[in-house]
Structure 1
Amino acid sequence: MGFSVGRRRFLNGIILVAVCHLLLLYKSLLMNCSIPDDPLPIPHEFYQPGDFIIGAVVSQVGFFYDEVSFTSQSTEELSELTMYRSVPKNYQHLLALAFAVKEINENPKILSNLTLGFHILNSYYAARMTYKATLSLFSTPQRFVPNFRCHSQNILIALVGGCISEITANVATLSAWYKTPQMVPNETHQYKGVVTLLQHFRWTWIGLFAVDDDKGDLFVRTMVPMLSQNGICCAFIYRLPYWAYTEEMADLVFQHGQSYNNITEGKANVFFVYGENPSFYSLRILLFTTTFLASPPLGKMWIVTSHWDFESPSMQKDWDIETFHGSISFTVHSNQPKGFKGFAQSIKPSWTRRDGFIQGFWEGSFSCSLDSSKREGEEKPCTGDENLETLPGTLFEMTMTGHSYSVYNAVYAIAHALHTSNKSILKHRRLAHGWKWAFQNVQPWQLHHFLSRISFNNSAGDTVHFNENREIVAGFDITNWLMLPNGSVVRVKVGKLDLQAPSGQELTINEDQIVWHNIFNQVLPLSVCNDNCYPGYMRKKKEGQAFCCYDCAPCQEGTISNQKDMNACVTCPEDQYPNKDKTQCIPRVVSYLSYKEALGAILATLAISLVFITILLLRMFLKHKDTPIVRANNRSITYVLLISLLLCFACALLFIGQPGKVTCLLRQTVFGLVFSVAISSILAKTIMVVLAFMATKPGSRMRTWVGKRMAVLIVLPCSFIQAGICVAWLSTSPPFPHVDMHSLDGKIILECNEGSASMFYCVLGYLAFLAIVSFFVAFLARKLPDSFNEAKFITFSMLVFCSVWVSFVPAYLSTKGKYMVAVEIFSILSSSAGLLAFIFFPKCYIIILKPELNSRDQLRRIRHERI
């Protein structure tokens, strides 16, 4: 225990001595600022002093070879080894920062008596050099001692993120240690905008390109589910190399050549690309070299994120870029600050000695050399008076791009935050001679509070402010890129993505302004897994394939599809039905047996005619009521039969016209009752013939039954039984009006629902029973000797009657709608007409044409002959 305490005291003493030595060393450095020079300074930098320094890491120059080392190379060796390649278009980012600082320093309303400066270093598209550049920003200029501040060093107050997300992320790793604000817009919102754009143009089968790094992995994991949730499928996912060094170009072509062929042969005509400018350079290498391998040209529709600006390194400036003609990109919203174009026009190679980027930019853009000692071959010298406006858009643009506009706004946001901080210090009553010193002691982390609250209008007229996540609120412009044959690049704004708009209205696009790739002949390109399913068909999933790939199946009966690529056919409303092609719903036609149509008019006319004929017969029989032929077989029953037949003909009219509640109740019941009376009357007449024959025998007691009493005893009970059935029917389940929309296509059938089908068939069954009994009795009595024997006429009439109603049942069941009603009317009329014709027409013949036969003597003679 004692040994441990002693060892602890010894170690504490050593630490205390070491701390004392470090404090003495720090004091010495602070007093003398004798910090050694940076052994490997970054060659490309742009420094302008000021009271406050804004740091920036840009990507204008890259390495040809991936052989950078911090341990073995000097600055001269590094320059000779790497052979820089310039990306001229990114030089505008530097100019945007310098222009913003210039405007702020010349504006007395912002940071009065204080100046802004900047320190810009190059990242070389490499993580190692990005970290080196960031640490250099936190060191004394031309020194490399991070976290040490000399008394003559200006204050690094904030950082402006690079135009490449990986560079920005690497800078953020170090800036977070120092809690230094880093200004960079959040671009993830554009993914939702791209999905909305794909849905707008109905592009459901797309190729997905993603840079082959961690950011690309995150993009794929985020984007693929988002696309699937919105009905969009990925035909393929192609991973782009982040950066192709010279020694990797051959491998790039051979490894990705087969993939290129698969891409060109697929049905996906729309490519959505997530990548940054280095991956764009790699893709251009692949597209350029495949032309020498007899590969087909790639005519597709490209949709790119805001990271791509279709810029060319100096080595690719003469390469054809027509493949990307008609592309659409989501670019960070930009506007044109006043005076920027003039500022850009004033730039010359000698505009400032502090700019370490200008030489590479100028030589790479104009293919000339500013240093005569290093000029090689036939390389022409630069005059210094070359005009930037003559450069194609892939190398430089005189109008401020989206990334440059973000840099411009970020610088102004920092300046306004400092200005607000300045007013806050004055508010706390600093002494007049000491406020500047106090303000210069503001720490970078203190700006976070002020940055989250500022809002201002820039010189371009846009409002700049931060959201609740402390991010600059920046929308996106939808840009259509035109690659002209002379190498020029024209960007046309065809819409916008407004993140502040209400839900569902964020995307605005003008299709008429969009220029498509020449291969599409200025027609909206299609990008689907298979051909569309047109109206009348629905999509049917293909087993084992993505849900965007489907077959087309015709709509089922009763359903339609009125749009292309419907997932399911829809059922028409009840009052409508599908047309023949199943592409739309047509209003149904109301159908019932009407007096206005030919069939209804004919049946009504026939029924009324038979009613009048029956009335004439009844009148004729009443007129000749005392004649033997009328008095034979009980003339009262004859009158009852004629009246019941008249009612049978009349009840047919109840079946014609639009069904109502009353007519539905009366139709079948009246029909059943009057027919029961008619058949009962016929049965009574037949029985009367039998009884009359039996009564003529000597000593027969049947004479007492021959007469009206017998007829009443037959007609009334038979009719009352049918009446009882009808009452039971109406009491339990009466008929009612019904609308049938399903039995016939295109028809709304207005009909009477019988309520109880069993009761309906009971009525018909009872009539059939009476008819059969009457038929057999009449058949047996057809040859009995009697004057004017009606039995044989009743036999024929009942044969017709039974034949009609036997045929009625299958015909009734096989028809629907008004034709079913017409069948029943025809059966009523034909069966009643058969009874009328076969029973009464022979008597009419005698009454009208053979009156001499209608006498008592003649009846006796006929009876004697029969006996």
Structure 2
Amino acid sequence: MDPASSHPAPALLPLISTVLLLLAPAVPAGIPLNLNWQLGSAYEEGYYKEGDFLLGAIIDLHHLWKALAINTKAKPCRIRYYTDEYLQHFRHHLVVIYAVEEINSNEKLLPNVTLGYHIYDSLAYESQAQKHIFRILSGGRNMIPNYLCSSGGVLAAFIGDKSSPTSLSMATLIRIYHYTQISYGAMDPIFTDRLRFPFFYRTVPDGYAQHGAIVQILQHFGWNWVGILASDAESDQMGSWELKGQIMRSGLCVEYLVTVSGKFSRKEGEQKRVESVLRRATAKVIILYNSSDNVKWFLLMNKRMELPDAVWINLGLDFYPTDHGFEVIFFNGSLGLSIKRGNIPGFTDFLYSLSPQKYPDNMRLKWAWSWTFRCHYNGTNPEELPWETLPCSGSESLLDLPQNKYDAYNFRTTYSIYTAVYALAQALHAMISEAPSKAKGTVGLKKGFQSWQLRHYAQNVGFATASEEFFFDEYGGRPARYDIVNWAVLPDLSVTQETVGHFDSTAPESQRLLINDSAIRWHHRFTQLPQSLCTEPCEPGYRKSPQEGKPPCCYACVQCPEGEISSTMDTDSCLACPEDHWSNQGRDQCIPRIRDFLSYEDPLSAALVCVALVLTLITVLVLGVFILYRDTPIVRANNRNLSYMLLLFLIMSFLCSLLFMGPPDNLTCQLRQVSFGIVFTGSVSSVLAKTITVILAFKATKPGGKLRKWLGNRMSFSLVLICSLVQALLCTTWLIRSPPFPDYDTWSVKGQIILQCNEGSVPAFYMVVGYMGFLAALSFLVAFLVRKVPDRYNEAQLITFSMLGFCSVWVSFIPAHLSTKGKYTVAVEIFAILASGAGLLACIFVPKCYIILIRPELNAREKPMIIRGDISAER
């Protein structure tokens, strides 16, 4: 086709240039902003500006479902598609023009080169977007694939679209021609595939980046039980399941995931199905996973559906619950993630300057004006409006509109389009700057331009805007930066949108999410922070116990066992207290254990001390009696020096029991067992020596006999000394190899820490006790054999009874020692010491004291044999 003959200019209306506004300081004064547009059919209106290089822009200005539903009385070709949201979206076309004019007036960016544009409305519909791409590729209004019917500027790149489906349809077509495409709203993760979409870029983050923000929001408010309502779009289905997985991996739970079918296909019974799920649900947080308008349309078509009071979290980044005010009932107090707001210098003043009086040829503006102010403007047909209207007075001003209806301060999608235009301009500037010197002229640049060349420069683009440093990541997207917005219903049913927090994936982990809780307006039915939990949080002192067959968030609260605590709400496990602490009754804090030992203040200790002192006093008195009556026969019989020695050992044994009381330390732990072992060995060996003395005294009856030389103090003292030295050797070995040491016991008695002496070597302890037992058994055996020796003062029978009691006490001591705990173990040993010593004192010396003090007539010599025995004993 001949390009000249197919140029679209003769078929188009004349281009009308109108000065809109002197730009803000970012644009030099006196440079006008031209709004050039052309009229086509109802769906084919577009803007066009000639330039050396052209940007093809497919902008989502309307929604096709709105265009079909607004006025059913009108003929199809006359259907208008303006709504209350039109003014919010109208700026999306204007910001392209605004940015291009800024760039063209900037002497440092693309000098000596002008930018132009083709701008069309995609209607958020794939076929419309593709049709306009062919129109732009053909260079005019006519769609002739693979033919360029224009001799104007060179097409450089494409911008668009907002939704993922239309952007995908565009990318599929554009990549055939190797043109760079920058979307300003498509978040589908499919575009991260650089092999499949090497020419695709976007000024918004990957949609999955929202998932991390959602999880942190749920954790911030303590919500672990949520529902997900998603559209049946393929990207939403995949994204909602991915979101569910990420929520569950973070330890939170999803009660349900419900799918709502497309807006033009209503499945039978779908309303009842969705309503049934929502009404049975207990989750108070519902996440809307809705990149399209399916869920919003579903709620529009089912106004009477009974929905629970819930906090809605919206993931559609350009969501405004303002259609006719009806769905504010559902979304009052809801939260959402929005593209981070950006600053466009001078654009606010430009938007507020719009009016049909200034631009009388702009029919789009007239229709938007008529719809917004409920009047009809010159050139508009009042019959095509859904209400009866009067002519516009001309005094209507955009400054009089509430911010929720016409917000010219919060630029989000508009800012994304603005940065997309600048990104392409910067990439084109870098490419032109590196062009060979012979191709620097405008004609040379246009002739040498290849569409695929711009891709490399777009990937490496970087520049500063009024709000941030701009760059593309390795997947052609932007870092995840969101504003957290809160929608609240005002008394007049208008909706206000406030930014209450921010999320920045590039910040440190602890600073990624920042939310001002006090700035949030919750649904009026929530008197405090809404809770969404499957199970009420476990109080301190309890832990979560999973229940079989239920999600992890549905658990039972089980009290911590003794010795463990949980000091925070909803803990997964209890923490063990330190060894010297124990859990309190509420199991929410560790308290110091009761330090338990046999202290002198304890009643049991006081009783044992009293018994020990009384027995010591009695023993001292007996010793005094024996010394006072030392020359009487009953004292002299059986070696009175042994009796003195035995009484002294008994005194020391009663006193050594005091070492077992009080808090144990290294000295007392070592002294108590050693002193007990040696002193009691001395006592038992003294008894053994007395028994042997009785045997020798009555066996050595012949003067000059061999046994008579063994009679006397030497043999007795030697026997006591040898037996005591053996015990001392055992104790010394014990102290050297593994001595007793202070220890504590935290397991025997709950809530107590028992201070005690660790024996060090248990075998050594039982060897010491066993040696004493051996001597006692030997004494008992010898005394038993000579118990019937005919002697008036024979004490063999007394020794037999004393040893029988002694052995009985210590045989009973072993199981009692092993079965008691805490201070009672020490008390049992003290009792054994006192009881065995008291047995010796009572069985051996009390009968003699009775004779000495009460029956002195029995304390006299009557037979020579007795005298011989006494004399022999005294030798």
Output the TM-score relative to the length of structure 1: 0.82
Equivalent-residue separation in structure 2 for 1:377 and 1:422 (angstroms): 52
- CA 1:34/1:394 → structure 2, altered by over 3 Å: closer, same or farther? closer
The reply to whether residue 475 of structure 1 matches residue 481 of structure 2 is yes
Give the Cα–Cα distance (whole angstroms) in 2 for the partners of residues 395 and 389 of structure 1.
11
Give the equivalent residue in structure 2 for 1:387. 397
My pick for the range that moved more, 137-146 or 679-688, is: 679-688
The match for 1:415 is 425
Query: CA contact under 8 A between 2:54 and 2:153: conserved in structure 1?
Result: yes
**Residues 477 and 493 in structure 1, CA contact (< 8 A), matched pair in contact too:** yes
Answering whether residue 437 of structure 2 is matched by residue 428 of structure 1, we say: yes
> Residues 283 and 345 of structure 1: is their aligned pair in 2 closer, same or farther, counting only changes over 3 Å?
same
Q: Secondary structure at the match of 1:681?
A: helix
Q: CA deviation at 1:275?
A: 0.9
CA distance, structure 1, for counterparts of residue 386 and residue 774 of structure 2: 123
Q: CA deviation at 1:375?
A: 4.5
The answer to whether the 8 A contact 2:300-2:327 is kept is no
The alpha carbon displacement at 1:40 in A equals: 9.2
1:47 matched to 2:47: yes
Q: 1:519 aligns to what SS in structure 2?
A: coil
1:514 maps to amino acid: I
Q: Give the partner amino acid of 2:515.
A: I
Match of 1:256 in 2: 271
After TM superposition, the structure 1 = structure 2 runs for residues 226-305 of structure 1, keeping only pairs within 5 Å, are 226-242=246-262, 244-245=263-264, 248=265, 251=267, 254-285=269-300, 288-290=303-305, 295=306, 297-305=307-315
2:565 equivalent in structure 1: 560
Q: Does structure 1 residue 682 correspond to structure 2 residue 687?
A: yes
Match status 1:342 vs 2:349: yes
From the superposition, tell whether residues 805 and 520 of structure 1 become closer, same or farther in structure 2 (CA, over 3 Å). Answer: farther
Residues 162, 360 of structure 1: CA spacing in aligned structure 2 closer, same or farther, 3 A cutoff? farther
Is 1:128 matched up with 2:134? no
Aligned to 2:836: 831
C-alpha distance in 1 between matches for 2:232 and 2:399: 35
Contact map agreement 2:140 2:149 (CA 8 A) in 1: no
Distance 2:863 2:578 in 1: 72
Q: CA deviation at 1:631?
A: 1.3
Q: In the alignment, what sits opposite 2:325?
A: 318
SS in 1 for 2:144: coil
8 Å contact kept, 1:333–1:477: yes
SS at match of 1:646: helix
- Could you tell me how far 1:641 is from its partner in structure 2? 0.7
- Give deviations 1:627-652, integer Å, cap 9, x for gaps: 33321221021022112212312332
Q: 1:814: which partner in 2?
A: 819
CA distance in 2 between partners of 1:37 and 1:859 (Å): 164
Change (3 A) 1:65 1:752: closer
Aligned to 1:190: 210
Secondary structure (helix, strand or coil) at the match of 1:520 reads coil
C-alpha distance in structure 1 between counterparts of 2:540 and 2:386, whole Å: 68
Q: Match for 1:33: what amino acid?
A: H
Cα deviation, residue 851, structure 1: 9.3
Aligned twin of 2:224: 204
Instruction: Tell me if 1:628 matches 2:633.
Output: yes
Alignment of 1:225 onto 2:225: no
CA distance in structure 1 between the aligned counterparts of 2:115 and 2:550, rounded to whole angstroms: 60
Whole-angstrom CA distance in 1 between matches of 2:237 and 2:381: 47
The Cα shift of 1:599 comes to 5.4
Offset at 1:543? Answer: 2.1
Distance verdict in 2 for CA 1:309–1:391, change over 3 Å: farther
Structure 2 vs 1, CA of residues 807 and 395 (structure 1 numbering), >3 Å: closer, same or farther?
same
- Residue 775 of structure 1, CA deviation: 5.3
| Aligned position for 1:538 | 543
Distance in 2 (CA, whole Å) between partners of 1:286 and 1:808 is: 90
Does the CA-based 8 Å contact 2:851-2:859 persist in structure 1?
A: no
Q: Is the 8 A contact 1:476 1:496 kept in 2?
A: yes
Q: Which residue of 2 aligns with 1:178?
A: 177
Query: 8 Å contact 1:483–1:489 — kept in the other structure?
Result: yes
Deviations 1:482-526 (A, max 9, x none): 222323222222221123223443222222322322232122x22
Distance 1:512 1:802 in 2: 81
Stretch of structure 1 that moved more, 103-112 or 331-340: 103-112
CA shift in 2, pair 1:809/1:556, >3 Å: same
Structure with bigger helix share is 1
Query: What is the CA–CA distance in structure 1 between the aligned matches of 2:639 and 2:181, rounded to whole Å?
Result: 121
TM-superposed CA distance for 1:340, in Å, is 2.4
Q: Which moved more, 1:606-615 or 1:153-162?
A: 606-615
- In the other structure, the counterpart of 2:340 is 333
Letter in 2 for 1:269: K
CA distance in 1, matches of 2:770, 2:795: 25
Who is 1:71 aligned against? none
Residues 554-594 of structure 1, C-alpha deviation per residue, up to 9 Å, x if partnerless?
A: 33444333333333333333343333333233344554445
The match for 1:574 among 579, 585, 590 is 579
Measure the CA separation in 1 of the matches of 2:359 and 2:863: 149
Deviation at 1:266, TM superposition (A): 1.6
Q: Following superposition of structure 1 onto structure 2, how do residues 573-722 of structure 1 map, counting pairs within 5 Å?
A: 573-594=578-599, 603=608, 607=612, 610-611=615-616, 614-615=619-620, 617-661=622-666, 663-686=668-691, 688-689=693-694, 707-708=712-713, 711=716, 715=720, 719=724
Aligned residues of 2:42 and 2:77 also touching (Cα < 8 A): no
Amino acid at match of 2:131: K
Q: Deviations over 1:383-406 (max 9, x none)?
A: 154333555666442223321111
- Specify the alignment match of 2:35 in structure 1: none
C-alpha displacement at 1:235, in angstroms? 0.9
> Could you tell me which of 300, 305, 319 is aligned with 1:309?
319
1:855–1:792 Cα change, 3 Å? closer
| 8 Å contact from structure 1 (residues 44, 357) kept in 2 | no
In 1, Cα distance between the equivalents of 2:47 and 2:786? 135
Distance 1:508 1:810 in 2: 67
State percent identity of aligned pairs: 38
* Structure 1 range deviating more: 660-669 or 325-334: 660-669
* Aligned counterpart, 2:77: 79
Q: Does 1:493 align with 2:491?
A: no
- Read off the aligned partner of 1:583 and give its amino acid letter: D
Q: After superposition, what is the alpha-carbon deviation per residue over 1:222-277, rounded to whole angstroms, capped at 9, x for unaligned?
A: 223322221122111111334x24xx56x57x413232232233221112222125
For 2:75 and 2:10, how far apart are their aligned partners in 1?
20
Q: How does 1:506-545 map to 2 (within 5 A)?
A: 506-523=512-529, 525-545=530-550
Per-residue CA deviation, residues 126-172 of structure 1 (Å, 9 max, x unaligned), is 22222222222323222212343344433333322233222222222
Give structure 2 stretches of 5+ with no counterpart.
13-38, 183-201, 868-875
State the distance in 2 between where 1:377 and 1:727 align. 112
Against the structure 1 CA distance between its residues 92 and 810, is the aligned structure 2 distance closer, same or farther, given a 3 Å change threshold? farther
TM-score normalized by the length of structure 2: 0.81
Whole-angstrom distance in 2 between the partners of 1:654 and 1:345 = 97
Contact 2:121–2:129 (CA under 8 A) maintained in structure 1: yes
**Number of corresponding residues:** 811
Secondary structure at 2:226's aligned position in 1? strand
Between 615-624 and 54-63, report the one with greater CA deviation. Answer: 615-624
